[in-house]
Structure formats: C-alpha cells, structure tokens
Structure 1
C-alpha cells in the first residue's frame, strides 16, 4: 500500500492511478469529493450511524468488530460488481475522510488481490485544505476578462463558442449548474453544495494557463445559492470588462429559446414569476402571469427585462466605476450572430 500526499489541487491531474475511489458514505460523497472519484462506500450512512452509536454508548471493541463485518460485506459487494472486470494491473487510489481506518481497511483487502493500491494521506480533509488554500488564501493569478451585457445577450452561449474556438474560459454558471437569476435553475435540477462547487472551481482554475487571458461571464458574488470566493470576486471586479449589446426584441427571442424548459412547464413558470413578488408591484406580477397564460413568451421576456432585470443589472458592482473596455453589438442573437460575436471576442483575447 502506497501513501500519497497531495501538495496542490493540480496534483490530481497527474496521479499515477487508474481510478480514484471514495470509500466514505454516500452523503459524504454527495457533499464533495475529489474530481472523477467514484463512490464505493465501505459503510453506508445508516451503517456508519449504527457503528458510531455503539462506539459511544457501548465500547470501541464492539463498534470495530461490527464495522469490520460491514466493511467486509460492502467491499465484497464492490468486488463482485463495480470492480469485477478490473485487470490484474489495476491501480486504485483510495481515500476516506481523513485517511484512517476506512480507507486503510479497503486498501488492505484490495492490496491482497494483487492490485497496486494507493491511499491519500489525510484523506478528503487534505483535499479540502488544498481547495481552501487555492480559493481563499491565494490571490487569483489569472488574467481575467469579464464578459458583461444585459440579461438575454447570450453571454453563456458566446462563452461556450469562445471555448470551442480555443479561447480560455471559466464557466461559473456551468460549475454552479445555474443560469443566473431566479429563472436560472433548470426545472428538476439541483445545485452542487458549496464545498462541491469550490472543488470544481479550484480544479477549473488549476487547468487554466495563467499566461493567457481567461474569459469569465459577469456575475454577482452569488450564483443561485452558491457564493463566489472573495478572491475571485475581487479579481473579477478589477478585471477589464467587455460588453455585448443587442436590442430588446433580439434579447427576448434569445431568452425564449434559452428558457424553453421553463416555459414548457406552466406551473414552474408561474412559480418563478411569483418569486419576484417581493420586488415588484402586485399589478406588474399579475400582468406577467397573464402573459404567461397567453403563451406570449417573447413579450413576457421583454417585460421582465425592461421592468426588472435591466434596472437591477445596471446597479451591479461590476458595472460601477469604469466603462466597458469594448462593446460588441449585434442586431440579432441567432446562431450566426452568436458565432460572429464569439469569433470577434476570441480574436480580441488572442
């Protein structure tokens, strides 16, 4: 069994192992895990709670004996299913919460098969410390360029196209699984936890070349329920800002396309409109509900932008103090226009 000490977030890109196995409980894994890790819990949540209760209320010996039996059964199940087709030269890297008994027990069994097993020194806690150091204790070294523009200017689509053209981008909304604003969460989807978001963000930043500019979409310091680390938010506020501009009708058409998943569900659409009630007069909310009932989605999008989103967006901190370094204007936001805008921006980034 080989013990592996992680020294930076970027270490996960060069680990000499075939697979990373998180042996913690499903709830621990769901909260956060190393990028690409699979979950083969040696104790599930209910089993972990039972062992912990015996450990505290009866004896350490009984708890360890009970836990050992559970671990053996769960590892056997994993060997007969997920790991059943692994070859003789398989190299798994195992970790638990702090690199202790759980990962050690699993590694011992896997090692007896003949596999070259590694265990992460310090477990998930060591990974979490690296993420916190990268995001909260280290200034952002990347040359950020902020892509700004009113709601409906297809910024996310442009960001994606720039990436396809070879530009460096940081897709915060993609990492947060949220399209911004109260309409941003896709129906039925959930955002990652704060810790999970931070792990994904730290990995995304570590993959970027700090000598090349990085395009990032203008955001507030929150995306849905998730918070941006202060160092990144500060770097975004200080970064040069470029802006996409388009007329309201083009933006309304774009939003109708982009949020078709929301408009396809009348109950969901009305719930999103109702959530704006604390910010708008009752008559305005009623008018928006009426447009939704009529299926007048482009007029609804235009009303939402002119009466709610544009005035609020104009007050964001990223917009105050300095004008945009450059404005990219388009009369339409169809696929060809988005391609052209992305090409211009990619050329500017170099």
Structure 2
C-alpha cells in the first residue's frame, strides 16, 4: 500500500534509505524531492512514444509498449546503479502521481526482496505540500532583514552570521543569482519550482522560535519570484542596515563580481542595457573605464549613478523599522567579521 505524508516536514523526514524518482529526466530536472536519485523507467523519448500510441492507436497498445520499456529499463537499473544494495535496503519510490510507473518499478523491487514503498500521490503530493507552504499558509518564522546599499557585502556577512550560529537563509544562493543587473551566475538559475522547493525545505529545517536573518531583496531575484508567504513576512520585517564608504563598497564589488568584471564582452552587454535608463554619455564613460581596466572607478560610478539612486527610490516607497545602522570603514575580511558580530549583538536584544 502506498505511504502517505500529511506535512512537508513529515515527508522530508521520511526515514527511507533512498528516494527514487522514476520520472523522465526532463521531469526530474524541472523539480524533484530533495536528495532523490533519478532512475527513469521511461526516457523522455520513450514517454513521448507511449503517449503517441495511446492517442493514435489504443490504450491497450500503449500499456503493452510501456510495460516492455519499463521492464527493460528496470532491469538496467537493477543490474547497474542498484546492484550493490543488500536485502535490508528500503527505498521510497515516486513518479508523477504515484501511479503505474512507480507502482511497476516498486513491484519489481519488492519481488527481489527490497522493502520498497510507493509515495502516495507521487511528485504531486510533494509539490502540493511545497505550494501550501509557499502560497497558502502564513510563515511562522520571525524574520529580520539584512539591508544596505549595493557593495556592503551583505551576502558575505550573512554567511559569517551562519558561522556564528545565527539562523539564516541565503535567498540569492537558493535562486542562483546575486540579485542585481550584474548578478547572474554561469550555472544559471533553477526553475521557479526548484527555487520554491529549496526555500520550503530550508524553512522546514529552521526553528521558527528563533530569529532568521535574510538579506533584503526586491520581490524578484533575477527571474525567480519570492513566494507570497515569504514576501509577506519580508515586507514587514524589521531591518539591520549596513553602511560603508563608497571606496570600500567599490573595492568589495570588484572582488565579489570578479567573474563579471573580467568578462568584458559580457559586462559591456550589460552596460549597454542601461543606456535607456542612464543615458549614452554615462554608459560611454563606464565603457571607457572598462576598456582602461579601471575597475575600481567603474564600480564606484555604477554604485553612485545607478545602484544608489535605485535603492533610494525603493526605500522612499516603503517604510521600514530599522533596528540598527551599523557602519564599517572597511569591508576587508576583518571588517566583515566585525559587522557580523555586531549584527549578532543586535539580534541578542530582540
């Protein structure tokens, strides 16, 4: 009988030795349960083939062809990735809805002697629980936002807070984007569903009775939208603001965005995008600084003429409860350590 889970926390704490996703590779790539391994019983092309037979020939012929393909692929998985597991191995298996694909594969595993079970409702059960957490149920966590203009090393300080045993969520890390025009990462962003899955599972692991620090963001990080329940808490959460001199911020920006700055063609394309916002004369000056290799001046100009005005406009439209304003003359490693320690001190009085 398929196993059921009523909450996301219960599903994530499933207690099985492994979780097997038997959906096609493209389905798995879109989103999957945390830690699941993909052992597809139908490849993408095979799934399309069976679907075509179902529509154009008959359901019987589609099931017959599908059974042959599932049996062959199951045999390959058993002789390959699963060959070294002993008889005590206990996997949880799922497909899209917990139907034929996972049921067929689980039956084979059980016949061998493994204690395999099917997840009731399959991936859709997991997605429904994630969706409820991200869209329907009020977030129980106490959030404090780490705020500050571009170049104040907020993401790095967030990591240092985690090392000081402060509960944190790295939204930019989960979204695969550094949250600005220059913030895309070479590996790209996860799908929206993957982002929501990662965020929901991160929240489940945190203690809602302790404060959780999140970097202040807009409602979108790159192309990924912060889910409503999290965003609703963020827009009312109190903030700790980080400040530093322009030269220190520019130096940090050069260090943190070295991959972008060193790729002149990529950066030039991004600067050209800003012509309609900042004008040709300003962008031409930025391009000249880029061509001269004057990265510090380029970073300072971008902060002063693009990022800071955008931050000021955003702050003017929202009222925020600022718990503390922390200033550092340097954003070198020691300065960032000191800022993290000060943030922890502020949190200790909440």
TM-score interval, normalised by the smaller of the two chains: over 0.9
1:97, distance to aligned residue in structure 2 (A)? 0.3
Q: For 2:98 and 2:275, how far apart are their aligned partners in 1?
A: 49
CA distance in structure 1 between the partners assigned to 2:224 and 2:2 by the alignment = 34
Q: Which residue of 1 aligns with 2:177?
A: 178
Q: Distance in 1 between matches of 2:173 and 2:214?
A: 11
Which of 201, 204, 229 in structure 2 is aligned with 1:203? 201
C-alpha deviation, 1:254, in angstroms: 0.3
Matched, 1:14 2:26: no
**Cα distance change, pair 140–318 in 1 and its aligned pair in 2 (3 A):** farther
The size of the alignment, in residue pairs, is 348
Q: Measure how far apart 1:323 and its partner are.
A: 5.1
Give the match for residue 137 of structure 2: 138
Matched, 1:36 2:47: no
For 2:276 and 2:197, how far apart are their aligned partners in 1?
Answer: 33
Distance 2:181 2:197 in 1: 24
Scaled by the length of structure 1, the TM-score of the pair is 0.96
Three-state SS of the structure 1 residue aligned to 2:2 is: strand
Aligned match of 2:238: 240
* Inter-partner Cα distance in structure 1 for 2:8 and 2:28: 18
Q: Pick which of 261-270 and 108-117 moved more.
A: 261-270
Give the structure 2 partner of residue 287 of structure 1.
285
Q: Does 1:107 align with 2:109?
A: no
**Does 2:86 align with 1:87?**
yes
Cα RMSD (Å):
1.3
Q: Deviations over 1:147-191 (max 9, x none)?
A: 0000000000000010011000011111101111111112x2210
- CA separation in 1, counterparts of 2:13 and 2:131? 20
Alpha-carbon offset, residue 106 of structure 1: 0.7
The answer (yes or no) to whether the contact 2:236–2:320 under 8 Å persists in 1 is no
Task: After TM superposition, give the deviation of residue 319 of structure 1 in Å.
Answer: 7.0
Contact 1:182 1:275 in 2 (8 A): no
- Indicate conservation of the 8 Å contact 1:24/1:42, yes or no: yes
Which residue does 1:72 correspond to in 2? 71
Q: Which runs of 5+ in 1 are unaligned?
A: none
Residue 317 of structure 1: CA displacement? 5.4
In the TM superposition, residue 135 of structure 1 has moved relative to its aligned partner by 1.1
Output the TM-score relative to the length of structure 2: 0.96
1:237–1:318 CA contact under 8 A, matched in 2: no
Q: How does 1:198-347 map to 2 (within 5 A)?
A: 198-316=196-314, 320-322=318-320, 324-347=322-345
Pairwise CA distance, 1:138? 0.7
SS in 2 for 1:321: coil
